[in-house]
Amino acid sequence: MKPWLKHSLALVAACAAAVFAYMWTLQYEDQLKSARFLKLKSNVQLIAGETVLTNAMIEVAELPARFTDGLKAVAIPESPASYRSGIVGKVASRDVAAGSILLLQDFAPEEELDLAAQIKPGFRALTVPVGAQGTVGYFVRPGSRVDLIGSLVDPSGPENAAGQMNIVTTVLLSDVNVLAVGSARNYSEYQRIGGNGYSTVTLELTPGDANLLTFAQQQLASPLSLVLRPQQGESEKAAVPSVGWTLFRERTGG
């Protein structure tokens, strides 16, 4: 066989081996990057309003991660264990076929899917933009109680004697209930957000407070800050003074 033909065949064989190795690597990476969800066993089905889910009815489905982007928003993951414990013992809210991936909606009463059903009479829901710094590093979650702090430009004097804008930082509202963060309206949905964070928070406010906060947002000199309150609440609400340049210098000795 001629030398050039041998080299050509060797090159073709090397390319084929490289392609095979690459395809095998992709398959191996798919196995490593799989996503695990809870599903019904193949001999179990759920009937709305009748079937109580038990651990014995559940098994784990493992799927390649690249095929699960849509599922991650609605399906119940296998980990952490709090997801499983959160649905075991619940009655199915709709029929679910045997062998199906379990979804959050399978165990959520219809009224719980509607945010309006979560608002107390006499209150309203208002969504405001936020970031990591203004939400205690995204530790603010549905059900949290927060104080809202804003820094506003005082129109009575655009600049003080030192040439600084006349900004006042004040507590706009106290002890406000958080209905939702992003699209998460309960703790399970909040857990699903993970490290991705969120860009909005939905608050439960009286109509008057909703008006006040809507006006204040148009005057803010910096993003709104949500200050997390203790879970047990506080019996007394101490008055918190507004902070301007004068009080700031007094407090800091500047």
Percent of the chain whose pLDDT exceeds 90: 33
pTM of the model: 0.56
The structure tokens 């200050």 sit at 227
Domain borders along the chain are 33-112, 115-252
Alpha-carbon separation of residue 207 from 81, 113, 222, 225 (angstroms): 40, 23, 24, 21
Q: What is the pLDDT of residue 238?
A: 64
Cβ atoms within 10 Å, residue 152: 19
What does the block give as tokens for 56? 């014995």
Q: What is the pLDDT of residue 29?
A: 45
What CA–CA distance (Å, rounded) separates 46 from 216?
Answer: 49
3-state secondary structure of 68: coil
What does the block give as tokens for 201? 């928070």
What CA–CA distance (Å, rounded) separates 90 from 103?
Answer: 13
Spans in the chain with pLDDT lower than 50: 24-26, 28-32
Report the candidate in 229, 224, 247, 241 with the shortest Cα–Cα distance to residue 151: 224
Q: What is the pLDDT of residue 78?
A: 87
What does the block give as tokens for 79? 């980990």
What's at 116, amino acid-wise?
A
Domain 33-112 of CATH type 3.90.1210: yes
